[in-house]
Amino acid sequence: MLLDVLLTAEEKALKNEVRDFVKNEVSTELIRKMDRDEITYPREYVKKLGEKNLLGLRFPKKYGGRGLNWTGEIAALEEIGVLGTALGCAFAMPSIVGEALNRFGTDDQKENFLKPLLKGDLVSAEALTEPRGGSDFFGATTRADLKNGTFTIKGQKRFVVAADGADFFIVYCNTNPQGKPHERISLILIEKDRPGVEVKYLYKLLGTRGGGTGRLIFRDVKVPESNLIGGLNQGANIFNSMMVPERLTSAGASLGMGRAALEVAIRYSDRRKAFGQKIRNFQGVSFKAADAIAQLDSARALTIAAGKAVDTGMSTARRLVSEAKKVATDAAWNIINLSMQIVGGIGYTNVYPIEKLLRDARLIQIWTGTNEIMNLLIQHEFYREVLGDSSPARLIEADAEEAGAADEKVYIDEDMWTKGW
């Protein structure tokens, strides 16, 4: 199995520990109730994860983490991912919010927020997206004005997971409207019980239900300056760091979602018969399974490679993380679709969980940065790497038979329009 090659013994043990948790501690009823929107946030599940010391695995032990690296967390995320997006996200959120607190928070913030977060005593949410848009991070219009040691916050955020359910939010606010885009934003921690904080609207979602996704409104909310995370106008820098857990947790959990659907399809195709034989005997079926298996392993390998790149501080980490998010979430979507096709009509019903995984998985191509935004980053980084390479590999352009045909190597420039050939 691929993971035997990629994981250490310690990481495999963690994976098995999380697999046992998923198998024994999470009831089918919880999943069904969340999907029926009968539960707005799975708080007890988060508490149980905290009790088992499974939240924020990467963070130092002194704050309640396990001091592990990304590879271990990705292995854990694959196991959690089989539960679907909402429970996967509830597991991932302390890793995302914790990144900001652990790297940029003050001692007090670590004591009062990071520690209880990792115990599952407090629930957090990240509020970046606004009604005006999510992709354009620097366009945030939620204002935070600092005067005499107090921020006054005014604005709205939407599509915030755990808007209903969280005890505190970390909110990207515009603190410097006249500044350059990357010097405009600050990250501010806002407790839910502050006057002027309102959870306005819980969305009716295609999937990922039960995660408390809603709209937040801040009406002149007063927050002490000590709630600032990192420095004033340092939001861009913090977001660059938070991008990593945002995207790697989406990638890691999507591995589990794809795997879960595929395993249902594999078992089904070994039982179901048509034309007098098991459907798995038809290449039209088994080759779909092969396509799904190969996509799953490719996504696993890339996601773990991206995690290792982050752990070792490689310069290509940013590109690899974006690639992992795009490739793994697209793979999950494809694999779930292939699995549904293998199962046929009954796969489209709620007799099997594939339809729920399909509804859940559609989101992961959109959130934590759309896959178009991943493309933006991937190509940008790669152009920079290739064009900035001071010691490039063999220039194979010179190997072409007619490599010297300078007249044919035309790269149109302005002159040609004015001067002609």
What Cα–Cα distance (Å) separates residue 128 from each residue in 136, 153, 196, 376? 10, 14, 18, 19
- Chosen residue from 8, 16, 27, 135 binding ligand FAD by CB under 6 A: 135
Q: How many residues bind ligand FAD (CB under 6 A)?
A: 23
Nearer to ligand FAD, 372 or 385 (CB): 372
CA–CA distance, 280 with 274 (Å, rounded to integer): 10
The residue from 309, 363, 364, 374 that contacts ligand FAD (CB under 6 A) is: 363
| Residue nearer to ligand FAD on the CB measure, 349 or 375 | 375
Chain residues 76-105 in contact with ligand FAD, contact rule CB under 6 A: none
**Three-state secondary-structure class, residue 257:** helix
Query: Distance between CA 376 and CA 64 in Å, rounded?
Result: 36
The reply to whether 381 sits near ligand FAD by the rule CB under 6 A is: no
> Which of 160, 199, 242, 296 contacts ligand FAD by CB under 6 A?
160
141 contributes a contact to ligand FAD by CB under 6 A: no
Q: Which string of DSSP letters, residue by residue, matches 290-344?
A: HHHHHHHHHHHHHHHHHHHHHHTT-TTHHHHHHHHHHHHHHHHHHHHHHHHHHHG
Q: Phi first, then psi: what are they for 404, rounded to 5°?
A: -85, 0
Quick check: 217 binds ligand FAD (CB under 6 A)?
no
State in angstroms the smallest separation of the CB of 376 from ligand FAD: 5
- Nearer to ligand FAD among residue 75 and residue 125 (C-beta): 125
Task: Tell me if 213 contacts ligand FAD by CB under 6 A.
Answer: yes
Based on CB atoms, which residue is closest to ligand FAD, 154 or 278? 154
Nearer of residues 120 and 369 to ligand FAD, judged by Cβ = 369
Provide the CA 283 distance to its chain's centre, in angstroms: 34
Question: Out of 155, 300, 367, 377, which residue is the one contacting ligand FAD (CB under 6 A)?
Answer: 367
Residues 6 or more apart whose Cβ sits within 8 Å of residue 191: 167, 168, 197
What does DSSP say about strands 168-174 and 273-274: parallel, antiparallel, or unpaired?
A: unpaired
Q: Which stretch binds ligand FAD (CB under 6 A): 27-35, 153-161, 339-347, 411-419?
A: 153-161
Which residue shows structure tokens 């992961």?
364
Site residues for ligand FAD per CB under 6 A: 125-129, 133-135, 159-161, 205, 208, 213, 363, 366-370, 372-373, 376
